[in-house]
Chains A and B, each alone.
Chain A
Amino acid sequence: MAKHVLCVEDNPDNLLLVKRVLEARGYVVLEAKNGSEGLSMAESQKVDLILLDINLPDIDGYEVARRLRASAKHKLVYIPIIAITANALRGDAERALEAGCDVYMSKPISIRELWARVEAFLPTSRIGR
């Protein structure tokens, strides 16, 4: 059964890139354009992994990660979260990990690395390659 990746990202170009890359590998990609939308989708839908942009228009990615980890939906407490940020400003990586993200990647995101990291958490059946 296909794995569902929720991509919380306000930049349409990045979203498109991630979608194209992951769908080609057989993942189902759900899109959220801001933090609150991301949270409500994570609460209400089947999600297996979250790609979380740290720089979001409403609540930032750190806060989204903290709320996910504190969620009443048990799965969200341990769901893999990959943090993504455009500017590696001081302490971004530390803050992302402290907020409960599992891995930190800074833009530009290498597509090979994205594949590898998503697959490390969610091995695919290789369908769609």
Chain B
Amino acid sequence: MANEPAIIDGFSFLSELECSGCGEEYSSREIHTFCPACQSPLLANYDLDAVSSQVDRDAIRHRQIGMWRWHELLPVREPRNIMFLGEGDTALLSLPNIGTALGLSNLLMKDESKNPTGSFKARGLAAAISKAKELGIERVIIPTAGNAGGATAAYAARAKIHALIYMPKDTPRANVQESRMAGAEVILVEGLISDAAGMAGEKARAEGWFDLSTFKEPYRVEGKKVMGYELAEALDWILPDVIIYPTGGGTGLVGMWKAFAELEALGWLKNPKRPRMVAVQADGCAPVVRAFRAGASFCDFWINAHTLASGLRVPKSFADALILENLRDSNGIALAVSDAAILEAQRELGRMEGIFAAPEGAATLAALKVLVHQRWVQPEERIVLFNTGSGLKYLDQLDLLV
């Protein structure tokens, strides 16, 4: 907004929040959730002209490692509010053995299991909780299918913020224990994440907790978008041809697409060509796939969602419209894979590349195999799979299966 200086000291160039649905603008100096006018997610804007003129793209590489190297493009205005546990700058690995087997010469994996609490959720919650701290929020509530719980608990502990976590009863045990270990209160819910979200939302409204649900606050996506910056930087500012991403709530997908738009606006890309984005879901819960195929702009609530990839059990994302729009803008695709294919891919990643991936991460390899078969990807294309977390979080589920 015009009356609001974009710059405090050049640490963050956050300007206003903008509704992704109706374009209404809101101040980033106040606490906001989602758009009260049309109830769509809010996204953060930055003064990109100022960033472009004041920040040297190539100097960012030499800063202290981690997500906050990109602080000018992140929402926290004062460095003391950053709750840093080592998030970001995860490895971009090549997958030479699987690549050869599939006839692909340029297959990569961004391994997000290297984040604190062992998953990509650390990025979003580092940003959201740091910003919550800055805004003076003292109590946060979050519904989660798993990994977001542990990440919330960890960052909330560091920020001395009280955390209340709603999880489905059958969430992997590691997620429950890591959350409790970090001092969060965990409530196990009969049902799915949508049920947990309903209960968390009611509690938040009734008692004034701040709801960190995916896309119901504007800053988790800001942490996730840094995956896009890191990819661009690692690939020398030329984006990959294809990104294959497991899609539950869709924050990473929407975040990376936002990151690419920002990088292009900054003039930091050598080539404006964007990747084709692939959203991977499980056969047992594929609302985005169904809507994408139907040409719909919203998802229908997926009845009876089930899959061993707990992070993909999201019957309807609050950001469904954005996810579908981003997929179409990228000439991408959405596809679903079976739990059997996920398990097979998980074993292949272990045996062929030494990577113990989360089932959601393994799902991206399962999807890649389909896309190779359909010739949707070409042998020489640069393809990036996302492993969103560590397989170590899912031992109890594997015990049941083996």
Contact = CB atoms under 8 A, between A and B. Distances in A.
Contact of A93 (B39, B298, B315): B315
A86 B40 contact: no
Nearest to B194: A88
Contact of A108 (B34, B192, B316): B34
A86 B22 contact: no
A103 B299 CA distance: 11
A103 B300 CA distance: 8
B316 A106 contact: yes
B102 interface: no
Nearest to A117: B298
A40 interface: no
B374 interface: no
Contacts, number: 64
Contacts of B316: 106
Nearest to B299: A113
B191 interface: yes
Q: Do most interface residues of chain A lie in helix, strand or loop, or is the interface mixed?
A: mixed
Nearest to A104: B301
Interface string A92-118: 111001000001111011111100110
B295 to A, nearest CB: 12
Contacts of A109: 39
A25 B202 CA distance: 31
Interface residues of B, number: 28
A90 interface: yes
Instruction: Among B38, B195, B300, B320, find the residue whose CB has the most chain A CB atoms closer than 10 A.
Output: B38
Interface string A23-53: 0000000000000000000000000000000
Contacts of B21: 110-112
Contact of B38 (A94, A97, A110): A110
Instruction: Among A86, A108, A109, find the residue whose CB has the most chain B CB atoms closer than 10 A.
Output: A108
Contacts of B34: 108
11 contacts: A86-B201, A87-B199, A87-B202, A97-B303, A103-B300, A106-B194, A106-B301, A109-B39, A111-B21, A112-B38, A112-B40
